[in-house]
Amino acid sequence: MTPSPSTPPAHTPGPPALDVRGLRITLPGTARPVLDGIDLTVGAGETVALVGESGSGKTLTSRSALGLLPPGAVTEGTVLVSGHDVLALDADRLRALRADTVAMIFQDPRAALNPLRRIGDFLTEGVRSARATSKADALARAVELLDAVGLDETALGKYPGQVSGGMLQRVMIAAALMGDPALLLADEPTTALDVTTQAEVIALLARLRKRFGTGLLFVTHDLDLAAAISDRVYVMYAGRIAEAGPAEALFAGPRHPYTAALLASTPRLTTPGGPLSAIPGQPPDLRTSLTGCAFAARCPLATEVCEQSVPEPRPAEETAAHLAACHHSDRLAAEGSVVDA
């Protein structure tokens, strides 16, 4: 699939919607950080995709913007949401930030809604509590947002079990926008949907981003989806950023062997019935320490330096915005894919 990212909007002045610097999170019982020096930004009105295998740290990175961290987590670095450091906020200010500035669309909408409460109650109770909004104003806002996501106000009186999964995901998007957030976090919001509904939800998110100017961090394991929706992409592996850059440049010429391997393992209609490529081995266990590149044990380009030294992000010759944390990124650029498809 040829990447077709949307044209980046003109960003408004002010701080980024999300600015993560040097984020390191360590959990009890681990030999190394779960997140190890994450740097990531999402501009106002920009869509940024965060991709990688399960367990790479995508969800934890996104949840850090809400201050939703596991018990016992020890943090370093900063997580700025519209200029506010989430990791330094007390409970009251964090609650206010979640109500007004940042919101999340979770993967399974049915798990987020109370099956015994009507959709109208779900949409309005949060904003009424956080902002002391009147019931009439909250309902008017809910109707406005339901219309924006393609639903009519009759959905307010329905229970979650009376609507489809696609409609529920639209309700979740409307709920996330109730507080006019500057930053929207979407954690694989289309995984449980069929292909047609998935396309509708993706198109909806793109329209809403343009309409409300919201920064969107889109967490996914689907590379084709990331290419279609995002302005920029971050590729995560074992709690580190392996590669980052403009979507078109990154997918057209990956500079990290892990990104190249992910692209090679994506099924293609051009080779129906052919064998699927797979990345050998498994991601490193969190109970083991690492002295070099986390991907070295699975990488076809790995040499002794990869096992001894953690690679620093290096810019591509074509654009300084395209970074890869790989000792052999230049070799990969020269030789093309090193993964057997």
Q: Domains (ranges, CATH) in the chain?
A: 18-230 (3.40.50.300), 240-269+276-335 (no CATH)
More confident residue, 172 or 233: 233
Percent of the chain with pLDDT over 90: 57
What's CA 297's distance to the chain center, in Å?
26
pLDDT of residue 13: 54
Range 50-70 average pLDDT: 94
Average pLDDT across the chain, whole number: 87
Residue 209's contacts (CB-CB under 8 Å, 6 or more residues apart) are 9, 45, 47, 184, 216
How do beta strands 314-315 and 323-324 pair? antiparallel
pLDDT given at position 127: 80
Q: How confident is the model at residue 8 (pLDDT cuts 50, 70, 90)?
A: very low
Of the candidates 43, 98, 93, which has an alpha carbon nearest to the alpha carbon of residue 65? 98
Distance (Å, whole) CA 46 – CA 38:
19
Phi, psi (rounded to 5 degrees) for 108:
-115, 105
- Which range has the top average pLDDT, 14-28, 188-202, 306-320? 14-28
pLDDT in tens, 223-268: 888 988 899 999 999 999 999 999 999 999 999 999 999 998 887 7
Largest CA distance in the chain: 66
